[in-house]
Every structure is written in structure tokens, then in C-alpha cells.
Amino acid sequence: MAVPIIVVFALIIALLLNAKIKGKGVFRLIFFLPVIIASGPVMAQLVSQGAGSIPAMNTSMIESMIGFLPGFIVSAIMGLFENIVMYLWYSGVQILIFLAAVQKIDNSLYEAAKMDGGSTWECFWKITLPTIKPMTLLNVVYTIVYLSNNEQNTIIETIKDAMFGTTGSKGYGYASAMAWLYAVIVTLLVIVFAAALALKKDVYAKKAKKYRKEQKKQERLIRKIEKRGEQYEKQKAKRTAKAAKAVH
């Protein structure tokens, strides 16, 4: 559940940081700073002191609203809201990737779209989003892998306790089996998200591919016609030569 929130937040911030504003470098540093500072023991201390959640957020009201859902879904959603600030801190690398992708887009595409009457919203859906689609997939995969192996992940803590715990330790074999099974589940999650992003192909990409196929087909036909013309000219030259010999 945290993956779409992190990726969408990173995309919004990247678009804002790409705008013409003063002090863009300072804002980029601010959003990337948690990646450097809030890691390891620092992040553990912040979470233990309640810095990972928004104090003004009424989580009890949210829990009462979704109480009809199964218990494990309710606990997952509540965990997301209780650590929403912490998840947004994890978006620094994704912001930089999106920012680099957005800056690579040719401005002439936006100028041509605006000349044709395209709005900012249409330019985003028709130009920006399809262009940065590979980077979106990269950020999704990165986010899944990062959250799955993060030091705040309870499953990682469970595996560590099973391996190194002083009380109730179940040994390296049991912990290794847990780690392998967890790796398989994470791989399946990556495949599901990648398939969801890769299934829908761009309409314009399909048209461009079809146009290239037609162009290659026409080129092959032209070469074939030219080859037949050359063969015909050679045969005509041979017949002319034979006729000239017969006359002599």
C-alpha cells in the first residue's frame, strides 16, 4: 500500500521542483536530506518518539470508518497512516529519478501541444506520463525492494530474531527458510507491479511501430521493383546484343 503513495508523492514533488522557482537547489536538498540523515538508528529513534506520524491525524476515526474490512487489511491501512511521514521520507531517491526523467523531455513537445490547444493537464497525461513510464517502473521496483529490506520492516526484524535472538531463537536454518520464502514473495510483488505498469502500451507508440512496419514494407517493395527493373534491363541488353550479332 505504501508503494503507490511514495511513487505518486515523488512524482508530484519532482514536477514542482522542475518548475521555474528560485532556490530549486535548496528545495532539492531538503527533500533528499532524509535519505542521508534518517537511516538506521536515527530512523528508529524518530519512529519510537512518534515522529513518523502526523499528530493532528485522527487515526481512531479512520479505523472506525474501515472497521467492516478484514482485520489484517485494517491493521495494514492503520500502519500506513500511523507511519505516513516516515514513508514520505523514503521518497528522496525516487524524486531525483523522476526529476532527471522530466528534465530530459524535449520542450518542443510541450510547445507543439500548446500550439494545438493542449492544456497543462493534457500535456501531463499525453506527454509527461508516457515519456517517464520506464522511470516509473524503475521507481516502483526500487521502492518495493527498499521497503522489503528496510531496517524498520517487521518481517526483517522477525528473521533477525529467529537467527540471532537470545530467547526463542530457532536457528540459522529456520531463519534462512523464512528469508528465502520472503524473497519469493517480494519477487512476486515486483512481477505484479511490473505487469500492471507494462501491460498498457502507449497508443502513439503502437501507431509509430505500425508506421515503421509499413515504411519498411514499402522500402522492400521498392527494392524488389528496382531489382526486377535491373534484371529486365539486363535481359533487354542481351536480346539487343543477340539481334545485333544476327544482323551482322
Give residue limits of the domains in the chain: 2-152, 153-200, 202-248
Up-side HSE of residue 70: CA atoms within 13 Å toward CB?
2
Which residue positions in the chain have pLDDT lower than 70?
A: 38-63, 67, 165-169, 199-205, 248
Distance CA 43, CA 37 (A): 8
Residue 199: the pLDDT is 57
The grid coordinates listed for 175 are: 531463519
For the chain, what's the residue count? 248
Distance CA 2, CA 83 (A): 10
Lookup result for grid cell 531489382: 227
Among 142, 52, 133, 156, CA closest to 91: 142
Question: Domain 2-152: which CATH class?
Answer: mainly alpha
